[in-house]
Structure 1
Amino acid sequence: MTALLPSGLLVSALLKRANDAGGMGMVRARGEPNSGAILLILNDNNGHSNIMERALDQLGKPALVATGPADSANVAERESYWRRRRDRDPDLWVIELDIASPERFAAETILAS
């Protein structure tokens, strides 16, 4: 069993690294600081967008998993999706990143052990 870092600490590190790398990150919804799930809206410099969530794989290790509507570039569907998720899980963090290679960037930050 591995100890996971608190969600609030991971989010802070992610936002600081994004800012330091010339990108932008924002908290769309603040979750439970110790163990809240983290939902990421990832926007790259080419206008592509996807939604990923930090989850545990079969071995209990953190992983990024694609989630959300099939067309995550559709802003209305994306907003509706995360708001419904947040209604069901008030501990959920929702973070939006605008940065080059956002999936790789997020994985390097919040999956590091």
Structure 2
Amino acid sequence: MNEIILPKAVENFIAATNAHDANALNTVFGDGATVRDDGTTYTGGAEIREWIQGHLINPKIVITPTSFAGDRLVAFGDGDFPGGPLSFAFVFGIKDDQITDLTIDPV
């Protein structure tokens, strides 16, 4: 299997998610970042911290990448949620090794 090469910000996002480390996840996002997930948009530090806790930390999400091209990561997400594991597309906006924009959709 070919190795998937990821930008540093994406590597950090996956590592912090899989470690269930909310503090590390918070540092991956730049000031004024936006996350779109489950039909809701989360903007700025406070809303993203709430999203991290509710959507990644509490359900103990583990992300397993399957492919990366351009700005789009396809990965399995597993954790304490119904129907898992599921395949998701994560589309990243990145600047200076921080995530500025993230959109997550089921694949």
TM-score scaled by length of structure 1: 0.33
Tell which structure's C-alpha radius of gyration is larger. 1
More strand, by proportion: 2
Bigger relative contact order, structure 1 or 2 (CA pairs below 8 A, ≥6 apart): 1
